[in-house]
Amino acid sequence: MNVKGLAAIVTGGGSGLGAATAEKLANDGAKVTIFDMNEETGRAHAAKIGAAFAKVNVTDATNVSAALAAAEVQNGVARILVNCAGIVYGGKTVGREATPHPLDQFKKVIEVNLIGTFNVISQFAARLSRAELVGEERGVIVNTASIAAFDGQIGQAAYAASKGGVVAMTLPIARDLSQLGIRVVTIAPGIFWTPMMASLPEEVRDSLGKQVPFPSRLGKPEEYALMVDSIINNPMINGETIRLDGAMRMPPC
């Protein structure tokens, strides 16, 4: 699928992996709308790349529906969806002084990373299902998991569960949507340079990068965007989760 002239939605597109993906799609000629909770960074990045912006809470069905409708009025029916919106939380199952993991934090991570992803997928696909085919397909959905789905570390129970859920639903959703000509693929990134990583001391970042067999460094958001591009352009990639991690396997901690 050639993205030139097509409408695309990127959730979490104001920073990190989502920002690089939105920029890549815009540079390739797509009409991009960024969905992000951070209005300041989202609007700034949208202005930089010539995209539209909507402040969107992916867990809010009404908010997502309204944003998709507005994006469609502006750019036409979206053919490409890249789900990058997500949050991180670290906490052991049993914390200090024998305290249990805060249940509200566990629920929030699941709600944003898993339920939020599904909410956008289902509403996006429902709109796209009414559109005409472009060649042999209608569109492509790319989700973001993490290698934590497979190699979750100590303190990552909530995060790993949320990303494991994204991995687990990829194939059934791809099968659901196959009759509509909509592909569904998930990327599981390893350790990438993100705003969260930028806040860490340089020696910590270097140490993390050295854990990657090759190339021994943090992944670049542009490399994630390149994988999205490859998925969009190869119609045979469907129903799969692709590790993008330099052959890294996360240690327990």
Residues that are catalytic = 159
Question: Largest alpha-carbon pair distance within the chain?
Answer: 60
The CA-based dihedral angle spanning residues 246, 182, 165, 82, taken in that order and rounded to the nearest 10 degrees: 60
Q: Please, what is the Cα angle at 36 between 152 and 222, to 5 degrees?
A: 65
Cβ neighbours of residue 149 closer than 8 Å, sequence gap 6 or more = 160, 163, 164, 166, 167, 188, 241
Three-state SS sequence of 95-112: CHHHCECCHHHHHHHHHH
Distance CA 223, CA 17 (A): 9
- Supply φ then ψ for residue 82, to 5 degrees: -120, 115
Q: What letter represents residue 215's amino acid?
A: P
Q: Could you identify the residue written with the tokens 């854990």?
A: 211
DSSP letter string over 99-156? PBPPHHHHHHHHIIIIIHHHHHHHHHHHHHTTSPPBTTBSEEEEEE--THHHHPPTT-
Tell me the pairing of strands 31-36 and 52-55: parallel
